[in-house]
Amino acid sequence: GTAALIPSLESKLNIYEASKINCYFGGTLFELFARRDAIEEYWRYLDKFGMEYIEISDAAIRLARAEKLKYINDFSKEFVVIGQVTNFLPVGLFSFDLLLKFISEELEAGARYVIVKESEQIPLYGSG
């Protein structure tokens, strides 16, 4: 979400581009736009800065699984999508099988990569 707060964002992105480094806005920025029901505005924001990669996550907002997968599918037609499987919302412990299912679903929906994150307070699939 910090991309929305950095006044020198364009010059920062130019440095990455000149160095041939692919960068992307983190999933929190996507969540800010999704929470406001402003996905078309987000799409324009990505185009404005010439983004090629994007992250789609649901760590900070409640987003129906089917809705998240639809976003991944829609955005994957124009961008390289990085999905994120997380348990930051306290919905109980993930089983390892459920974790693999979520990763597979995001890849099948069009994500090229999937980041797996966990909260220290709520382990991904048990305390091991």
Residue-level pLDDT at 87 = 66
DSSP 64-79: -HHHHHHHHHHHHTTS
Residue 31 reports pLDDT greater than 50 = yes
- Answer whether residue 4 is part of any domain: no
- Answer whether residue 9 is part of any domain: no
82 in helix, strand or coil?
A: strand
Which tokens sit at 54?
A: 């994007």
For the stretch 98-120, pLDDT in tens is 888 999 999 999 999 999 987 66
Could you give the number of structural domains in the chain? Answer: 1
- Answer whether residue 99 is part of any domain: yes
Whether 75 contacts 47, CB under 8 Å: no
- Answer whether residue 78 is part of any domain: yes
Which residues make Cβ contacts (< 8 Å) with residue 81, sequence separation at least 6?
Answer: 53, 54, 55, 56, 72, 75, 110, 111, 112, 113
